[in-house]
Amino acid sequence: METVWRFKPETEFYTDEKCFIVEMLNTPDDEACSIARARVEPGITTCLHAVLGTVERYVILEGEGEVEIDGAPYVPVRPYDVVSIPAGRSQRIKNTGTTSLVFLAICTPRFRPESYVDLETSA
């Protein structure tokens, strides 16, 4: 099993959720956790969604924004804030700044696409 996973910015891809993702660690060799770097452009709010069976944590690295969890009012976030999102709860994040909002999305257990629920198109 690998012990060091190199960051590969060239693997960044755009998602239907309206953000850019670089998968940093997401492998069957480590079912307990996955880590992705997410980037949201200025003025963008990601799609309302939930991740079933997975607790997610956002570690804000750059920029400023607001996060909504489970229908509660938006809460401002800035670098080094940690946002904890319980499994299955609705969530979205809004970039309120003038530069990219960049954060780590740490999932336990690891993120699997089949656990993702789009709450905007399924509503």
Calculate the CA dihedral of residues 23, 118, 81, 6 and round it to 10 degrees.
0
For residue 43, give the CATH number of its domain: 2.60.120.10
Does residue 1 belong to any structural domain of this protein?
no
Residue 1: its pLDDT value, please? Answer: 63
User: Which position has the token pair 């938006």?
Assistant: 74
Task: From residue 20, give the alpha-carbon distance in Å to each of 11, 23, 30.
Answer: 10, 10, 23
Does residue 17 belong to any structural domain of this protein?
yes
Does residue 4 belong to any structural domain of this protein?
no
Task: From residue 109, give the alpha-carbon distance in Å to each of 28, 31, 70.
Answer: 11, 6, 20
Residue 2: its pLDDT value, please? Answer: 74
Does residue 23 belong to any structural domain of this protein?
yes
Task: Find the domain containing 74 and state its range.
Answer: 9-118
Residue 86: its pLDDT value, please? Answer: 98
Does residue 3 belong to any structural domain of this protein?
no
Query: What does pLDDT average to in each consecutive run of 10 residues of the chain (123 residues)?
Result: 89 96 95 97 98 98 98 98 98 98 98 94 62
Measure the CA–CA gap between 27 and 24, rounded to whole angstroms: 10
Measure the CA–CA gap between 7 and 85, rounded to whole angstroms: 24
Does residue 2 belong to any structural domain of this protein?
no
Quote the number of domains for the chain: 1
